[in-house]
Structure 1
Amino acid sequence: MTSPVLRPHAEQEYAGELAALAAADDRAKPPSWRLSPWAVVTYLLGGTLDDGTEISPKYVGPRRLIEVAVATLATDRALLLLGVPGTAKTWVSEHLAAAISGDSTLLVQGTAGTAEEQIRYGWNYARLIAEGPSDQALVESPILRAMRDGKVARLEELTRIPAEVQDSLITILSEKTLPIPELGTEVQARPGFTMVATANNRDKGVNELSSALRRRFNTVVLPLPDTAEAEVDIVRRRVGQLGAALSLPAEAADLAEIRRVVTVFRELRAGRTEDGRTAVKTPSGTLSTAEAISVLTGGLALAAHFGDGVLRAQDVAAGIHGAVVKDPVADSAIWTEYLETVVREREGWADFYRAGQEIAG
C-alpha cells in the first residue's frame, strides 16, 4: 500500500472520473488524446453522464472560454492562459493536461532564473566529459519529453522567464522540432504534442512576449468570478477539498463565514460596497479567489487546533488582515477605514468588527 501524498496530481485524484468519461466517450478524439474535446470540457466544467456518474466541476466560469481553450489545443497552436493572480490558471492548465494526456507532470516553472536548458535540454556533465555528447548524456526537459511522447507540456509564468529564453520556444512551437546540434539530430514532435502556458497580466512589461512568440499562442483570459454567488461556490468547494486533504479536525466552513470573506474581498477589489452606496479605497494586494481560499483554510486550522472546531469571525480576521495589508502604512489605513465605515455599520457583523479591530491593533 502506497503512502498518501499531500497533493496528488489531477490524473491521480480524479482517476475515477477520467475513467468514467473515457468509458462513456464515443466522440472523435484528436491524435493521442485520451478523451474527446467534449469529454475534456465536461471534465473541467462538470456534468452527469448517461450512466449517472457525476463529474465534479474543476472550474467555475464561462463555458465558452473552456471550449475555446480545448479547441485551441486540438489545433497546431499553443494556449496561453492569462489573468490576474488567483483566477485558476495553473489549476485549469493541470486539469487540461490530465484530461488530454493523462499526465500533468510535464511542467516547467518559469522564474527569472529559468535557463534555456530547462526549456530545451541539458547535459549530464559527468557523462559528457567522460564520453562526449551522446543520447545517454542528454538530459531531456519536460517539453522535450512531451514532444517525444505526443503529450501536453505545461509552462507556468511565461512572462517571468527572460526574453532570450522565451524565444527558444519559437522553433518548438512553429516547426514542432527541437534541433540538437551537438548530436547532429533533432526531435520532431509526435501527434498530440501541444503546450499550455500561463501568465499573470499584472506582470505585463516584466518580460514582454515578442510578437513572434505571441503569434504562436492563442490567448484565453480567465476572469475573476462575475458574481458573489459564483465566487462563494468556488471557495466553498476548494476549502472543503483542502480541509479533507489536510485532515483538519474541524467542522466544514460555515457558508455565512465564507460569504463574509468573499464579500470583503470583492468590495475591496471593486472599490465600492455590494449595494453600490459606499466607495472604499482599494489596497495594493490582488485579493484573489485563491487568497480567499487560503484565508478560510487557515481559519479552519485555527478553529481546529486553537478553538472549538467551529469556524468563527476571529479565525478568519487575521487571515483577511494579512491578505489586505501588504503595505504596512497605506494598506493599514485602508483596512482601518473599511472596518470603521463599512464593517462597523453592517448588521450582523459586530463579531467580525471586533475581531478585525483586535488584529489591527
Structure 2
Amino acid sequence: MDTSRRTVLAAAAAAGLTAAGAATSYAAEGGTQGKHPVKELFGTLPDGTKVYRWTLENGGTRLKVLSYGGIVQSLEIPDRHGRYANVCLGFDGLGEYLTATAFFGALIGRYGNRIAGGRFTLDGTAYRLSVNDGPNSLHGGAQGFDKRVWDVEPFTAGGAGVGLVLRYVSADGEMGYPGTLRVRVTYTLTPRGDWRIDYTATTDRATVVNLTNHAYYNLAGEGSGSVLGHELRLAASRYTPADATLIPTGELATVAGTPFDFRRGKPVGQDIRTAHEQLVTAQGYDHNWVLDKGVTVRPEYAATLRDPGSGRTMRIATTEPGVQFYSGNFLDGTLAGPSGRTYRQSDGLCLETQHFPDSPNRPEFPSTVLRPGATYRSVTVHSFSAH
C-alpha cells in the first residue's frame, strides 16, 4: 500500500470512518478537497526550541494551531453574510502565551479542571500534584500540557478531512502524576467545516486522565466586546455546585428554577448578575454541567452557542459526560488580543468538554482512572453555521 493511501485510511479511522465510509460521506456532503496544512515559524522558546504554526482550511473553516501547547490561536468562520472573523481569543506572539495564565486555546492535561488540595489516592498510594490555583491543582499544574511543545504531523485525507496529529509523552512523575502517559490528539477539519478533536492516551502505570481544549469563544469576533448577549443552550438538567475554591461539593444539583438552567437556551447574561450563592462565589459561571446523555461511545449533542448579531452558531457534540461553562469571569483588561483590544470580563467564554472536576477524589463521579493495557478515548466535534 502506498504512503498516501495509508494516510487516508489512518485519518479516516481517526474520524471514526472506514475509507469507503469517508468517501461516501465526502460525496454526500458535496465537500471539496481541503488545502494541505501550511507550516510556518511562529517563535522560539528561551531554550532555543522552535515553535511552529500550522494553518488548516476546509469546508469554509480556517484553523491556526501552534505546536506549543497545541494552542488554537485562531478559528475563522463566516457570518450570515459570508464575512469571516476569528472567533477565538488569543495572542499575536509567542511571548504572551509563555507568560499568561488564561490557557487561551490550549490543550489541557494531564487533568483538565481542578483537583482538590493538589492530591489524590489511587490503589492505596497518595500522590501530590503541582498546586497552581490557590490550594488546588488546575489544568495539570504549573507546567501542564499547555506549556509543552508537541510533535505535530499534518495530514490531508480527502473525504476524512485535513488535520494535524499532535503527540506528547508525559513522563512518570511529571507534575506529580504517576505513569508514563503517551498522548495523541488529532485536530481535523472535515469537508463541511466541522472541527473534530480526537484524544487518545495510554499509560504504563495506573493514573488519572482528563483531556480537553480551553478555547475562549466570541462568535461576534475576537476583540468585539462582551458575549453576554450570546445565546447558550446546554443539554444538562444537573450541575455540580462548588465550594469557595471552585471544587465540587459532590452534589449533583438540579438546574430547574435556578440561573443554571440553560436547557431551552437563553442569553448568557440573562441571569449572571442574580444573587445566587454559586454565581457570587465564582463571580459568574465557572461550573461543570452534568450532560443528560452521560458517557457515550460516539459524540452526542451537548451544547449550542449562537451570536444573534452575526448569526454565527456553534454546535458541540461529545463523548464526555460533562462540560465546564466558564463565562470569562477573570478577564480583567490586562491581556490584549490580535485586534489590539483588551479582554475584559465576559469578552469570551469557554465550553470545555470533560469528566467532572476532582473526580479522582470523588468515587461517585464517572471514573478518570486509566490503567495499563487500556486506551483513553474522547471525541468532541464543533459544527458551525450562520443564520
Q: Do these two structures clear the TM 0.5 threshold for a shared fold by scoring above it?
A: no
Answer 1 or 2: which has greater strand percent: 2
Q: Which has the higher contact order (CA 8 A, sep 6+)?
A: 2
**Structure 2 length-normalised TM:** 0.21
- Structure with greater proportional helix content: 1
Structure ID, larger Rg: 1
TM-score, normalised via structure 1 length: 0.22
